[in-house]
Amino acid sequence: MMQTGTKTLLRSIPSMDELLNADWAPEFLGALGREQVKSVIAGVLDGLRREILDGEPPTAPAASIAAERAVTLLRAKSSSTLKPVVNATGVVLHTNLGRAPLAGEALEAAGAVSGTYSTLEYSPEKGGRETRNAHVEWALCRLTGAEAALVVNNNAAAVLLALSAVARGREVIVSAGELVEIGDSFRIPEILSFSGAELRVAGCTNSTRIEDYRAAITENTAVLLKVHPSNYRIEGFVRAPSRKELAELAASRGLILMEDLGSGLLCPLAAAFARKEHQVMDSIRAGCGIVTFSGDKLLGGPQIGVIAGTKPLLDRMKRHQLLRALRVDKMTLAAFDATLRLYLSGREREIPVVRMIETDKAVLLEKARKLSRILKRVAAASGAAGITVSVVETEDAAGGGTFPADTLPGYGVSLRSASGGGGAEALAAALRAAPVPVIAAIRDDSVVLHTRALLEGDEKRIASALEGCLDRVMV
Ligand SMILES: *Cc1c(COP(=O)(O)O)cnc(C)c1O
């Protein structure tokens, strides 16, 4: 039996028409269309009805609660959730924040072919079809020393296509120490099984000798696969054969040596820690027949996967049916081509990722001091006396599965609220809620804004985010 109170409450829920005719509605009707607005409002009204029936009466008049919820949801739906943010985490290649910000010339190139027809798969000289890969192959060969190269959607796709083309129905030998999982969706054993190849594990987690590889070879083996330990380090007693030893073994048995490098380093980096990361060219020179790497890690370009190697092997991949499903679109290809051209012309320091990793401490200290001055002014002007702004040392990172054990020394600005206890969480959340969200780190109950990965104009964006939220958070 429904109680009279419940009935009254249910009757107090506004109708769809009342809400559609509210003075806030036209803005959303214009942005989203009537059907979408109706479906959002219907969800709100349903929710209210259910709460009342479950014995949770609204804490304010149902009409105003319904309007408030509908406006909040509709406002959120009215603009894209994919939008720029300020990366104040100090992690240069932050996968969740879109990895590599592109160089200006890469952006222009993507724009230039997007709103118009282009030579994507067309040669004006031939007056006919050309492959889309042809736009970047020569530059990739020059920069890696490989005979041939092919681009696909990302590095996971590169590994999948390479193995599908050369190892389907055959065995692939991988060291036990290199059965990598990257992110939560790229696992070497699974990619191998998708490609139709069979995994044979050689050696132990921390130690694999060339004899272990040799012992694992059978007549059905096609590939020795080396995988870059991108997001972990094995410390202590570690042993692995050199690429040269592996290449010799592969050659003597008619096998292919393939390396999944992950990050595609195309130029030497000055930063001391980066010397451990070897370049794509080193793998090719050492005798790898196939090398795969990402376009949007250390290379600093758009999301793309590169396969570089010998011509006969690459020819098999270029003919493979899977390529059609993994191919790159024109905006990505244009941005990638422009990024490669920066390397060719020796202007790789214009690539944001390269520049950020190479920025030294002294420059970051200057940046942090300047940001600190700006934020002190903002805090003072808002009368939020309870907030302390100071320059602090930071530990930054290359990220994106490169140099997992190495931090980059940097500087940032710490925001500490006098109220202590959880104040940092609230402030960090408020900064994230700004129109251009500011993503910061939290350390010792302070918000820390790392300067390493800040881009042009980010200081102003941080200042306005702080300004907008100081009066809203407890300081
Ligand atoms: C990052 C990485 C991948 C995956 O590359 P995506 O471009 O993210 O698909 C695969 N292998 C290694 C070793 C990596 O570091």
| Ligand 1 probe mutation, 99, 155, 291, 303, most atoms within 8 A of CB | 155
For residue 362, is pLDDT > 90?
Answer: yes
Cα(33) to ligand 1 centroid in Å equals 40
At residue 191's C-alpha, the angle toward residues 185 and 193, to 5°, is 130
Does the beta carbon of 156 sit less than 6 angstroms from any atom of ligand 1? yes
* Dihedral (Cα; 449, 453, 456, 461), 10-degree rounding: -30
The mean-pLDDT minimum among 157-171, 179-193, 359-373 falls in: 179-193
Mean pLDDT along residues 204-209: 88
C-beta separation of 290 from 307 below 8 A = yes
Cα(191) to ligand 1 centroid in Å equals 11
Cα(264) to ligand 1 centroid in Å equals 10
Q: Which two tokens stand for residue 9?
A: 């409450």
Enter the pTM of the model.
Answer: 0.93
For residue 39, is pLDDT > 80?
Answer: yes
Cα(140) to ligand 1 centroid in Å equals 18
pLDDT of residue 236: 77
Q: Which of 101, 70, 158 is nearest to 339 (CA)?
A: 101
For residue 196, is pLDDT > 50?
Answer: yes
Mean pLDDT along residues 343-348: 96
The position carrying tokens 């500490």 is 416
Does the beta carbon of 262 sit less than 6 angstroms from any atom of ligand 1? yes
Pairing of strands 438-443, 86-88: parallel
pLDDT of residue 421: 60
Does the beta carbon of 352 sit less than 6 angstroms from any atom of ligand 1? no
- Each residue of 414-470: pLDDT tens digit? 999 876 567 899 999 999 999 999 999 999 999 999 999 999 999 999 999 999 988
The mean-pLDDT minimum among 90-94, 118-122, 234-238, 285-289 falls in: 234-238
pLDDT of residue 1: 59
Does the beta carbon of 402 sit less than 6 angstroms from any atom of ligand 1? no
Q: Which ligand 1 atom minimizes the distance to the CA of 229?
A: 13
What's the CA gap between 65 and 290, in Å, rounded?
A: 61
Q: Which two tokens stand for residue 384?
A: 């939020």
Cα(232) to ligand 1 centroid in Å equals 13
Does the beta carbon of 441 sit less than 6 angstroms from any atom of ligand 1? no
What's the CA gap between 192 and 244, in Å, rounded?
A: 24
Cα(242) to ligand 1 centroid in Å equals 21
Inter-CA distances, 219 with 167, 168, 348, Å: 13, 14, 45
Cα(312) to ligand 1 centroid in Å equals 24
- Which residues face 388 on adjacent strands? 416
Termini Cα distance of the chain = 50
pLDDT of residue 475: 46
12: left (phi over 0), alpha (psi -120 to 50) or beta: alpha
Cα(421) to ligand 1 centroid in Å equals 39
pLDDT of residue 451: 98
SS3 224: strand
Inter-CA distances, 198 with 169, 177, 372, Å: 7, 17, 56
- Each residue of 283-320: pLDDT tens digit? 999 999 999 999 999 999 999 999 999 999 999 999 99
For residue 413, is pLDDT > 90?
Answer: yes
| Reported confidence tier of residue 382, pLDDT bands at 50, 70, 90 | confident
Q: Is the CA virtual torsion 431, 435, 436, 437 positive or negative?
A: positive
pLDDT of residue 337: 98
For the chain, how long is the longest CA-to-CA vector?
A: 88
pLDDT of residue 328: 98
DSSP structural state of residue 186: E
Mean pLDDT along residues 222-231: 90
Q: Is 78 exposed, middle or buried (0-12, 13-18, 19+ CB in 10 A)?
A: middle
C-beta separation of 118 from 330 below 8 A = yes
pLDDT of residue 184: 67
- Residue whose CA is closest, atom 5 of ligand 1? 155
| Reported confidence tier of residue 350, pLDDT bands at 50, 70, 90 | very high
| Ligand 1 probe mutation, 186, 265, 277, 403, most atoms within 8 A of CB | 186
Does the beta carbon of 401 sit less than 6 angstroms from any atom of ligand 1? yes
For residue 401, is pLDDT > 90?
Answer: no
| Reported confidence tier of residue 354, pLDDT bands at 50, 70, 90 | very high
- Each residue of 228-258: pLDDT tens digit? 987 777 777 788 899 999 999 999 999 999 9
User: Which residues 6+ apart lie within 8 Å of 398 measured at CB?
Assistant: 91, 92, 93, 274, 298, 357, 406, 408
User: Which residues 6+ apart lie within 8 Å of 36 measured at CB?
Assistant: 77
Alpha helices in 132-172 (DSSP H): 134-144, 155-167
Helix (H) or strand (E) holding 257: strand 256-263
Q: Which two tokens stand for residue 431?
A: 């900064």
For residue 473, is pLDDT > 60?
Answer: no
Does the beta carbon of 186 sit less than 6 angstroms from any atom of ligand 1? yes
Mean pLDDT along residues 180-202: 89
- E strands within 310-418? 387-399, 408-417
| Ligand 1 probe mutation, 294, 296, 402, most atoms within 8 A of CB | 294
Q: Which ligand 1 atom minimizes the distance to the CA of 156?
A: 9
C-beta separation of 391 from 368 below 8 A = yes
DSSP string over 201-213 = EES-SSB--HHHH
Cα(189) to ligand 1 centroid in Å equals 14
Domains and CATH numbers, the chain: 4-77 (no CATH), 86-93+358-472 (3.90.1150.180), 103-350 (3.40.640.10)
pLDDT of residue 269: 83
Number of other CB atoms surrounding residue 401 within 10 Å: 23
Mean pLDDT along residues 137-161: 97
- Residue whose CA is closest, atom 3 of ligand 1? 262
At residue 284's C-alpha, the angle toward residues 327 and 212, to 5°, is 105
Does the beta carbon of 182 sit less than 6 angstroms from any atom of ligand 1? yes
Cα(334) to ligand 1 centroid in Å equals 21
What's the mean per-residue pLDDT of the chain?
A: 93
Cα(229) to ligand 1 centroid in Å equals 10
